[in-house]
Amino acid sequence: MRGTGNEHHPLVTPDGLPAFLAYLSQNGRRVLVPVEKPANKRSVVFEPWQEGKPFTMEKATVPAKEAVLPQCETLVRYKKTKDPDNIERVTMSLDDKPEAQPTVVFACRPCDARGYVVLDRPYLKGPYADPYYKARREQLTVVTLTCGSGCNTCFCHWVGGGPTSPEGSDVLMTEIEGGYVLQAITPRGEELLAASTLAEGAELFPKAEAARKQAWASLTPAPNIKDAPEKVAARFTDTQFWQDQTDRCLSCGACTYFCPTCYCFTITDEGEGLSEKGGRRLRSWDNCMSSLFTREASGHNPRMLKALRMRNRVSHKYSTYPENWGAFSCSGCGRCISNCPVCLDIRAIVLAAIDDGNDDKKSTDK
Amino acid sequence: MRIGVFICHCGSNIAGTVDCAKVAAIARTYPDVVYADDPMYTCAEPGQAAIEAAIHEHKLDGVVVASCSPRMHEPTFRRTVERAGLNRYMLEMANIREHVSWIGKDMEANTNKAAELVQLAVEKLRNNKPLMAKSFDVNKRVLVIGGGVAGIQAALDCADGGVPVVLVEREATIGGKMAKLDKTFPTVDCSACILGPKMVDVAQHSNITLYAYSEVEDISGYVGNFTVKIRKRSTYVDWSLCTGCGACTEKCPAKKTPDAFNELTGTTTAITIAFPQAIPKKAVINPQFCRQLLKGKCGVCAKVCPTGAIKYDMEDEIITEEVGSIVAATGYDLMDWTVYKEYGGGTYPDVITSLQYERLLSASGPTGGHVKRPSDGREPKNIVFVQCVGSRDKSVGRPYCSGFCCMYTAKQAILTKDHIPDSKSFVFYMDIRAPGKMYDEFTRRAMEEYGTEYIRGRVSQIYPDANGQMTVMGVDTLLGQPVEIKADLVVLAVGVEASKGSPQLAEKLRISYDSYGFFMESHVKLKPVETNTAGVYLAGVCQGVKDIPASVAQGSAAAAKVLALFSKDKLESDPQIAQVDIRRCVNCGKCIRCCPFGAIKEVEIRGEGKAQVIETVCQGCGLCTSTCPQGAIQLSHATDNQILAEVNALCQC
Amino acid sequence: MTIFALPCEGTLDMARVNQDLGRYTKIDGVTYDEAGVTITADGKDHRFCMTDYAQGKCYGCTTPSAVLADTLLGQPVKVDGAAGTPPELALLDSMSLDERLAFWRGQMDRCLRCYACRNACPMCVCRDYCVSDSRDPHWMTQEDSAKEKLFFQTIHAMHLAGRCTGCGECQRACPVGIPIMALRQQIARAVAQLFDGYQPGLNPDEVPPLLGYEVVEKNIHERDWK
Amino acid sequence: MPVLNGKELRIVGFLCNWCSYGGADTAGVARATQPTDLRVIRVPCSGRIDPLFIVKALLNGADGVLVSGCHPRDCHYAAGNFYARRRLEVLKQFLPVLGIDERRFEYTWVSASEGQRWQQVVTVFTDRIHKLGPAPQLDDPEPLLKIADMALTSLRSLGTGQKAALAELKEAIKAKLPELDCVIGWQQGYDAAHTVPLFMKTPEDVDKLVWGPFNVNNPAVYLPTFKGKKVGIVVKGCDSRSVVELLQET
């Protein structure tokens, strides 16, 4: 890993942040910053930064996933035109250019950044690269704020990450007294910082490193779940187990739509080629907790039970994805727990799955 | 899809304010439209031929006709496309005449509007599906409710047409109001003499089953297959044994029983036969006055009855009949005229209703046909007739005209002169309504030959004076001066209203009724006999006030409808009905609760409860579709997607 | 079905509780007293008094004890007065029409269409067959516009008209805290006003007002077209 | 097709086939001049009109929506308009909370014979919409965010329910448990400040039952999934109303 020793480590003071954001938003870059929405429930979302628009350095309620995988995107726009001389001759024009613009995600957390890495594998590293995802990903710069501590639902350190993990980030920011110390992680990050006019703060970097150590220290030790892939897979036929784990699940999509690593989608066509709006082929998020996810045209549904759907979600994150890509498809951000209307805790399910009675790994949440 | 669009000029009716050629041109730009034209007269023979030709030539599988209202020509064009081999529901119409060319002069706006209405039709059509009618058996029996002259006529005509008839009459005898009349206008022939034979025919007709002293309890099912529950009220007399000899009525000690048939002008016995020509001529015990039933001691009738027909322990009986069609002929009742306190409100014995007067005039009435006034039995010399008592009077909630009062008042004035040559009749009237054959001549005779004095004006008050006469105060609006007449007897031409219990029956029949309880016909002009419930027809005053000839005519008309319905062995059900997508249905039962026709039932399909539409009962209103939250029940030809397509065509920003 | 019940003294609005707890790594424990709770997080105590931190619905609650129960333990709770305008609705009432439009625009922007509101609703009986994601009928698209999202809220609200008991689960379940209760509350207010104070969920034998009718409606009047 | 600029606004009409559509025809036959804005969608009965059609139209650019059916008592389908009347009235009162001017939606009754009345209705309504002007669209305004004021006073004293007869309740449940498949309640979640639904099948499960201010979930949401099973449920007052409402519907 790069980024230790005596390198360029700019410092941003809190009041210097707007200027820095202004810099980031140069040459048409869209800078997504966490914005706290006025509401009785804490609700922090990523929105394009604008001069004077208030933002926060808080951990967002929603992941920064939308930067590369929008909730809904138009894959193809098509317009039809009729030949006036022969109205049976209809010609169609297609526009399938990905909507992508240079983007900086600012002050997301290491769990968000690791989310991109999880998404990259199926979307870029598989037999086919998804052009839409690719276009956005290639223009994405991730400026991550390391966490000063975990919170009650955080478990990034269980799954190979951590409050200061650089994975997926181009730049790491670490808060210290009086400002944020920046550290380039990738060449793209280096470029970004090099061009900035920020004050040098290399001498403060040790403070940052201390803060990072402190962050790790604040975490409750993680249980060992390295054998989760086999153990979870072994539960596949144990429907009773999944039913016991999911009896209270409401089958809504909160866990998946707020997950930085969930990437399932559905495709629908809307509109009419001959209308002014034209026709649209949409790609929108889909979620495996809904019974529609696997309902077939015939009406047959291999995952009628919510237990089987939960089995799919947990198995995918902790067993099948690791089999395919060698890492969990979970960055431990805990949003699926904090946003679940019935506080379903994936940590508990995983621990229960790997707990076959003869070892002492106990859930940390009870 | 391949859609053809036809923009009708309707001569200049549409083309006058709509640029039809331009509309056709715009239509060509719409999705799936492969052909568009603007013929002069689409509905004319050549116009229809052109549509058929285009369907073949351009292989159309859907047609839009933009012309007059679909309420006018939809059936026409459905037949047209059907002739060309398309399903009749693959047609949509755009109403660019009544809704466009005839209501706006602005050519640009009209043309644009017409084009949009065509677009709606195209978008709807793109979501249409061919629909197939189903056929089902008809039970060729008819139920006639009400044994008045209208019901009798309907029953006899049906029976003569070879259709078994179930005739239900609430009273102990059929004949209805007409049986109470002495004579009938404008011929002054004897009511009993002309109605009697018809009543006898009913009794003797092998095709007619008569349930007198009975009422319809419940009706279920649908056209062709109704199930009717009939309550035979207890008569305490076994009619299978009763010969109608009348021995019981002679001996019955309870002689103070009010005589309903005589409109309470006289009394009768607790066990009684309504009148000599009653059909069926059977005795009935009135439990409110029978000493045996009240106090448990008497039993005279049982002793004297030669056939032992008296059954004091008799109870109501429920009979179930299966029929394919129903004729409602429940007639009328007089409105409660006692609300007219200024006329005594029923407290003066010598102020009576016209129907009571009929009984006084009738030879079979309480006075044997000698006109005697109720108070002292004296023969009245001065008789005042007051018309429109409870007719054309908003103040008592009776704004409508009862139709026949003018005529029978004239008749009664004439009869009075015949009975009492030295009598003098006065008639207070608002207007004289005598629009029938020989009617106006008849009222003139009353005035000119019989010297009846007609005074145009309403009566403001009636009150008795010391020497037992009534003072009738009114105003002569022609002379413009008040009049005051001393009368020995005052006869009120009381207005009519739908017979008691009509709304309740309407609900059993699932037909609608107006605010006065008269049953609603399908169309006030063009479907005066049909109702909106298939297989249910109307005859007589239950549908609206009318006199005897009109009632008889409608009775025959209803019979004709029934016979026409029964001329087919199978009926076709309209396929524009609701359909359940059992995969979506979660059996929440909301549709079942709302359906106005009870056309949805819960069935079990592979262990799961699901809603199911009874195709022959569903009338296609679509209430269920807008009630079902998950859109599992869809009204064919007006599905959510079809209407949404139209909405989206209009609102797409 | 068997219903067990205890008289309820109110529940906490966890949204506001979490706001004030701020960021913490773990809850050490909770201690209760008559009037509230003290949550100890990362060694720090936070006192939450019920009168300040109850759920919005609890303040106007007129049925602290179950309206129907087979086993009802404890004493019935005394309730004085009738419920006022609920907070979310009061907020909307204070706005002009244009402001309300702008308000929903702003709120719906952050909706992720996770449908937690729908699935947490006990009266949503359609379950897996909601029209929000069906093609036939095709009421909605999958677009993420505020319009589509607000239309879904309208679907839910209308489908609950005369049925919604105001339990507030839809709003509580919303991960981004959109005050969607306001829409249900407005309908509940209309239903009460139109149908003589009708409140859903008080009498098992009653017919939901929108599944019935009166020939003459006491509180619905034809408008004149002068 | 675009709305005629300047001239017209987008007004959608839903008319029942039997009365109002006929009334509009009658008006046409009588050459009763009317504004040209209205576009009529023909439906069998006013009862067929799902209020959501109207909301959809208004959200998607309609400036006005007019619904007309048979007069009460005259419904071709006996009662369709009675149901419609209630639903449309509720809708009318609902629209303003969305920020939609309720005057942009109107419903009325016109019979097939009332051509003049129809002309009157269309003229008055179109005029009303023109006075209101084009309808503001949801996407137009700058987002406005406000927070509901939660400083409220309660109708009864609020507390933590620690005196509640939880022990007796547990006994009562245990007593009933043998004849029930499951009893729904609450248990502690991942920490002491979170409770989650609990499904009690054994006496040991019953011991996990908790009662207090953290019991926010409404257990009634699970009842439909237990259709046909013998289920018990522990409720708060508000939850019991959901249970009652569900009972109404089954």
The three-state (H, E, C) secondary structure of B378-389, written as one string = CCCCEEEEEEEE
pLDDT of residue D73: 81
Q: Reply yes or no on whether the pLDDT at A365 is more than 50.
A: no
Give the pLDDT score at C52: 96
| Min Cα separation C126/chain B (Å) | 6
Give the residue ranges of DSSP H helices in A235-305.
239-246, 254-257
Any chain C CB within 8 A of the CB of A339? Answer: yes
pLDDT tens-place string over residues B429-469: 999 999 999 999 999 999 999 999 999 999 999 999 888 89
> With contacts defined as CB-CB under 8 Å, which chain C residues touch B644?
137-139
Which residues on neighbouring strands pair with residue C45, listed in sequence order? C40
Q: Measured between CB atoms, which of C63, C97, C217 is closest to D238?
A: C63
Q: Are residues D31 and D118 in the same domain?
A: yes
E strands, B225-359, where? 225-232, 257-258, 267-268, 271-272, 284-285, 317-323, 325-328, 332-334, 351-353
Nearest to D28 among B98, B596, B638 (CB): B98
User: What residues of chain B score a pLDDT lower than 70?
Assistant: 653
Asked if A82's CB is within 8 angstroms of B28's CB, the reply is yes
CA distance B23 to B29: 10
Q: Tens of pLDDT along D97-151?
A: 999 999 999 999 998 888 999 999 999 999 999 999 999 999 999 999 999 999 9
Shortest Cα distance, chain D CAs vs residue A194, angstroms:
37
Hey, are the CB atoms on C125 and B644 less than 8 Å from each other? no
* Identity of residue A233: A
**In C, which residues are within 8 Å of D245 by CB distance?**
122-123, 163, 165, 200-201, 208
pLDDT on residue B463: 94
Question: Residue B630 corresponds to which tokens in the numbers above?
Answer: 């998950």
Mutate to test the interface with D, among B124, B222, B621 (most CBs of D within 10 A): B621
Residue extents of the structural domains in chain C: 1-73, 85-203
d(CA D142, CA B323): 67
Write out pLDDT tens, residues A277-320: 899 999 999 999 999 999 998 889 999 999 999 999 999 999 99
Closest-CA residue to A310 (of A279, A275, A346)? A346
Q: Residues A102-157: pLDDT tens digits?
A: 999 999 999 999 999 999 999 999 899 999 999 999 999 999 999 999 889 999 99
Do D98 and D170 lie in one domain? The reply is no
Query: Chain C partners of D140 at a C-beta cutoff of 8 Å?
Result: 101
Q: Does the residue D176 lie in any domain?
A: yes
pLDDT recorded at residue A360: 47
Q: Answer whether D146 touches A (CB < 8 Å).
A: yes
Asked whether B323 and B143 are in contact (CB, 8 A), the reply is: yes
* CB nearest A254 (choices: C16, C116, C169): C116
Q: In what order do the strands lie in the sheet with B382-389?
A: B351-353, B489-494, B382-389, B424-429, B453-456
Distance from CA of B619 to the nearest CA of A (A): 30
- Kindly state whether C175 is in contact with chain D, defined as any CB-CB distance less than 8 angstroms: no
Number of separate domains in chain D: 2
A173 phi/psi in degrees, rounded to 5: -110, 135
Judged by CB atoms closer than 8 Å, whether chains meet at A248 and D146 is answered as no
pLDDT in tens, chain C (226 residues): 999 999 999 999 999 999 999 888 889 999 999 999 999 999 999 999 999 999 999 999 999 999 999 999 998 888 988 889 999 999 999 999 999 999 999 999 999 999 999 999 999 999 899 999 999 999 999 999 999 999 999 999 999 999 999 999 999 999 999 999 999 999 999 999 999 999 999 999 999 999 999 999 999 998 888 7
From chain B, pick out residues whose CB is under 8 angstroms from the CB of D60: 647-648, 651-653
Pairing of strands B62-67, B3-7: parallel
Q: Measured between beta carbons, which residues in chain B are less than 8 angstroms from residue D5?
A: none
The reply to whether D106 falls in a domain is yes
Identify the residue among A79, A80, A275, A295 best suited for mutation to test binding to B, counting B beta carbons within 10 A and taking the highest.
A275
What is the rounded CA–CA span in Å between residue A158 and residue A155?
5
- Nearest residue of D to residue C122 by CA position? D221
Mean pLDDT of A346-355: 95
Separation CA A302–CA C71 (nearest Å): 40
Chains that touch C (3 or more CB pairs under 8 A): A, B, D
Give, in order, the Cα–Cα distances in Å from B231 to each of B234, B235, C226, D5.
9, 12, 51, 67
| CATH number for position D66 | 3.40.50
Strands A171-176 and A140-145: parallel
The answer to whether the Cβ–Cβ distance between B640 and C138 falls below 8 Å is yes
| C37: closest CA of chain A, how far (Å) | 19
Q: Is A45 on the interface with C (CB under 8 A)?
A: yes
Domain containing D194 equals 166-248
Q: What is the pLDDT of residue C146?
A: 96
pLDDT over 50 at A5, yes or no: no
* Residue closest to A10 by CA, chosen among A141, A157, A193, A207: A193
Look at residues C17, C207, A244, C55 and name the one whose alpha carbon lies nearest to residue D236: C55
Preceding amide of B280 cis, omega within 30:
yes
Chains that touch D (3 or more CB pairs under 8 A): A, B, C
A27's torsion region: left (phi>0), alpha (psi -120 to 50) or beta?
Answer: left
Peptide linkage before B186 cis (omega within 30 of 0): yes
* Cβ within 8 Å of residue D130, ≥6 positions away: D9
**Is pLDDT above 90 for A361?**
no
Chain B: closest CA distance from residue D55 (Å): 11
Give residue B510's pLDDT.
80
- Separation of alpha carbons B38 and B17, rounded Å: 14
DSSP string covering D48-104, please? G--HHHHHHHHHTT-SEEEEEEPPTT--TTSSHHHHHHHHHHHHHHHHHHHT--GGG
Tell me whether residue D137 is exposed, middle or buried, using C-beta atoms within 10 angstroms of its C-beta: 0 to 12, 13 to 18, 19 or more. Answer: middle
Q: Taking CB atoms and an 8 Å limit, are C176 and A287 in contact across chains?
A: no
A274: CB partners within 8 A, 6+ apart = A79, A80, A81, A82, A90, B29, B30, B31
The DSSP element (H or E) to which B359 belongs, if any, is helix B354-361
Residues D24, D126 within the same domain: yes
Which H helix or E strand runs over B538?
A: strand B536-538
- A179 pLDDT band (50/70/90 cuts)? very high
Nearest CA in chain D to C105: D143
Per DSSP, D117 falls in state H
Question: C125 and chain D: CB distance < 8 Å anywhere?
Answer: yes
Between CA C17 and CA A260 the distance in angstroms is 26
Rounded to a whole number of angstroms, the distance from the CA of C141 to the nearest CA of chain A is 7
Domain boundary among D90, D114, D132: D132
**Which of A38, A250, A343 lies at the smallest CB-CB distance from D194?**
A343
Task: Write phi, then psi, for A90 (nearest 5 degrees).
Answer: -110, 125
Domain assignment present for D150: no
Answer whether B33 sits within 8 Å of A87, measured CB to CB. yes
A47-58: pLDDT as tens digits: 999 999 999 999
CB distance C139–B632 less than 8 Å? no
- Percentage of residues of chain A with pLDDT beyond 70: 96
Interface membership of B308 toward A (CB under 8 Å): no
For residue D119, the one-letter residue type is Q
Contact across the interface for B631 and C207, Cβ inside 8 Å:
no
Domain boundaries, chain A: 10-74+99-217, 228-264+287-361
Task: Give the CA angle between residues C93, C96, C102 to the nearest 5°.
Answer: 105
pLDDT, position A358 = 54
Q: Does residue D222 carry a pLDDT above 80? A: yes
Helix (H/G/I), strand (E/B), else coil: A214 = helix
Instruction: Evaluate whether A33 touches A51 at the Cβ level (below 8 Å).
Output: no
Q: Round to whole Å and give the CA distance between A32 and A37.
A: 14
D170 to chain C: which residues are within 8 Å by CB? none
Q: Is pLDDT of D227 > 90?
A: no
**D223 or A360, which is more confident:** D223
Do D177 and D128 sit in the same domain of this protein? no
In this complex, the residue of D139, D150, D240 whose CB is nearest that of residue C87 is D150
* Domains located in chain B, CATH noted: 3-126 (3.40.50), 142-233+316-331+499-565 (3.50.50.60), 247-304 (no CATH), 334-497 (3.50.50.60), 578-636 (3.30.70.20)
